[in-house]
Amino acid sequence: MKIRKNDIRLALAVLAAALSLFGWQRYHYGKMTGNARVIVEREGEMLGNYPLAAEERLTFTDGQGRKNVMAIRDGQVSMEEADCPDKLCVKHKPIDRNGESIICLPHKLVIRIEGGEEEEVDVILR
Amino acid sequence: MIRKTAYMGLFLATALILSYVESLIPFYFGIPGVKLGLANLAVLFALYRYGWKEALLLNIMRVLLAGFLFGSLFTIIYSLAGAAASFAVMCILKRLGSFSIMGISMAGGVSHNVGQILVAYLVTQTPGVAFYLPILLAAGLITGLLIGMAAKKVLNLKGAFKNQ
């Protein structure tokens, strides 16, 4: 039971898909100007919309009293506290790029960065 | 039959220990969902040594038990989704017969992560959960390969698990 040609084909296909998706994301979401927004949503419903450049520390509580504390600092967003069981959102690295998100699945809370206007110029040559 | 039941119990215990070991390793890259999937080693082993029915039973039992022991009801739903997606894909590919255990394990790792992203999307209704899809695809490939190589080693052990 050695590694077979089809195994390698499969691996290459998945890698190609991953790389092209990654490239597409970088192309579409990578370029940022200073006016990105931090959007907070629960089940698709918007709870808040703040500038990424702000300094904020906000608590979001759902109908059952479950809490998440979000902080925006130095152009980065992080989840500082949460009383969810897995705390994956708190362990998540701070986000600062367009399209990135921190998601607290147990509380269905989504924080994402959006709307950093894309730069008008493609390349600057010096 | 009795012997098989005993072995199935043994494999379930192994899967649970592997889940426990995995929960001890601080293997966290800042991106949810990137993990080794050690327990899949036992599932792969059962899939090859017995068949899909036995492996399915083992898979469901280990997700439920590991969920109650080390997680919550929420993590059970989440890991069931990953386990179901990965198991279905692995069974289909194994039936096709054109992949080795490494290829099957890689496909399992990748589809596990895709399944979890789909559930995350259903739960949050946010397409943004797909942002880490490229990283999770690559991670599933690598962890799947590692688990597949380990499973192959175990299956090749001479004299182990014979006469069942």
CATH number of the domain enclosing B51? 1.10.1760.20
Decide if B11 is inside a domain: yes
Q: Is B110's Cβ below 8 Å from some Cβ in A?
A: yes
**Domain assignment of residue B101, yes or no:** yes
Query: What separation in angstroms does the CA of B138 have from each of A48, A69, B59, B147?
Result: 33, 31, 23, 14
Report, as an integer, the average pLDDT of B140-149.
Answer: 95
Residue B115 has pLDDT above 90, yes or no: yes
Amino acid B17: pLDDT = 93
Name the percent of chain B lying above pLDDT 90. Answer: 57
Q: Which domain holds residue B32?
A: 2-156
User: A17: which chain B residues are within 8 Å (Cβ-Cβ)?
Assistant: 134, 137
Query: What is the model's pLDDT at position A43?
Result: 83
Q: A106 vs A66, A80, B13, B46, B114, CA distance in Å?
A: 10, 16, 28, 32, 19
B18 within domain boundaries: yes
Tell which wins on pLDDT, B77 or B164: B77
The answer to whether residue B25 is domain-embedded is yes
Judge whether B164 lies within some domain.
no
pLDDT, block means (10 residues), chain A with 126 residues? 88 95 79 76 89 91 93 93 87 85 88 69 58
ipTM of the predicted assembly exceeds 0.85? no
Residue B163 covered by a domain: no
Q: How many domains does chain B have?
A: 1
- Determine contact: B154 vs chain A, CB below 8 A: no
Chain A contact for B101, CB < 8 A? yes
pLDDT digits (tens, 9 = 90+) for A63-93: 899 999 999 998 899 999 999 887 888 988 8
Looking at residue A29, what is its pLDDT?
65
The answer to whether residue B161 sits within a structural domain is no
Residue B13, pLDDT above cutoff 70? yes
The verdict on a CB contact (< 8 Å) between A1 and B100 is: yes
Within a domain: B9: yes
Q: Does A64 touch chain B (CB under 8 A)?
A: no
